[in-house]
Amino acid sequence: MAEQLLDQVRDVVDGQIDFEGQKLAEVLATGLLAAVGAVSFLVGFFLQDIVLALRIGLAGTALTFLVVVPPWPFFKRNPVQWLPVGGGESATTTTQQNLVIDEKLLEKR
């Protein structure tokens, strides 16, 4: 019981996402931060207010952290389809598996 709970906590903290999600996270982080930087400069320059520019920059960065860092469901939409363990049901039961390790053929039942 406690172990299951710990595993769940570990999963959330670790927050792994799938490959498509990683690509999306990369694009989001770059795009959002660059946009925030541009907006904070332009607003500050045209309203002549450097404190406002600083606040926009920091708030935008906080927002980016919030969007990118947690493993949101939209980062996990394309989970990797692994092959079944042992190369499929037929393989495990009937035929031998041939594993090549260090150019030596290992035979395994």
* Token couple for 30: 């770059």
Helix (H) or strand (E) holding 84: none
DSSP 29-52: HHHHHHHHHHHHHHHHHHHT-HHH
Report the DSSP beta bridge partners of residue 99. Answer: 106
Site for another protein in 30-89 (CB under 8 A): 30, 33-34, 36-37, 40-41, 44-45, 47-53, 57, 61, 64-65, 68-71
Q: CB of 35: closest distance to another protein in angstroms?
A: 10
Tell me which residues touch another protein (CB under 8 A): 13-17, 21-22, 25-26, 29-30, 33-34, 36-37, 40-41, 44-45, 47-53, 57, 61, 64-65, 68-71
